[in-house]
Each structure stands twice: as structure tokens, then as C-alpha cells.
Amino acid sequence: PCLCRTHISRAVTKALKVWSLVAKLEKNCQIEDENTRRDDLAAYPDPGSEAASFITIDDEDIQALHTPSFADKFPEIPMFIQKILASFEAKDSNMKKRDTNNAKLPSDMAREAK
């Protein structure tokens, strides 16, 4: 397993929890960029170059970022969080399609059957 480089102790984890959401997002973007650079084998030829782990974003904050008007307030959102938000959007879209199909009136269904 990968050695954790951000949440290295309970004290650090506790300190990170009080960071603002914007500070967590900015730091995670920085970590993401550094991790991407470490993927370059020419620059980092030694195996075992540990990638830093991300600072935890609480589920409540992830749900808040799911609201476009809220997410628009943050200029930097790491790709891994953007992927989570995209999966929420896909689920929402599928649910809307399902709800639209289920919301047909009996008269609509009778017309389609003809």
C-alpha cells in the first residue's frame, strides 16, 4: 500500500478538517499536479516515488459542489472531484429520464399502444 503523505497523524487529520473548502480544493489541485508530474518516468525514473494522497473532502461538501451555482464559486476543482460530480450528473440524468417515462398519463400510454 501507498504511504500516506497528508493524513500522517490524528493531529494532522484534525487540523486538515478545519481548512476551508477552497483551501482543500486548491491543495488537492496542487497535489494532483504533483502526482501527474511524478507519472513522468523520464523525470522520476526511480520506482516507488510515492504520490501524495489527497486531503479528504467531506460528503457534505461533495454534495454542495454538486450544485452548479455553488461549484461555480470555486475556480479550482481537482479532476478526481470533477469525475465524482460528473457521475452524479449522469445518475441525475438517468433518473430524470426514468421519471419522465414513469410520469406519462394513462391516456398517453393508451395512445402509444394504438
The arithmetic mean of pLDDT across residues 36-61, rounded, is 78
Question: pLDDT confidence of 29, banded at 50, 70, 90?
Answer: very high
Closest CA to 81 of 67, 99, 98, 62: 62
Rg (the chain; Cα; Å): 21
Pick 40 or 80 by higher pLDDT.
80
The residue type at 86: A
The arithmetic mean of pLDDT across residues 87-106, rounded, is 74
Ranges of each domain in the chain: 10-113
Alpha carbons 56 and 78: distance in angstroms, whole number: 12
Grid coordinates representing 27? 491543495
Alpha carbons 23 and 52: distance in angstroms, whole number: 16
Which residues touch 57 (CB under 8 Å, ≥6 apart)? Answer: 21, 24, 25, 28, 65, 81
**pLDDT cut 70: percent of the chain above it:** 74
pTM for the whole structure: 0.66
- Compute CA distances 103 → 33, 78, 106, whole Å: 45, 37, 9
- Residue pair 71/77 in contact (Cβ under 8 Å)? The answer is yes
Query: With b meaning 16 or more CB within 10 Å and e meaning fewer, what string describes 12-24?
Result: eeeeeeeeebeeb
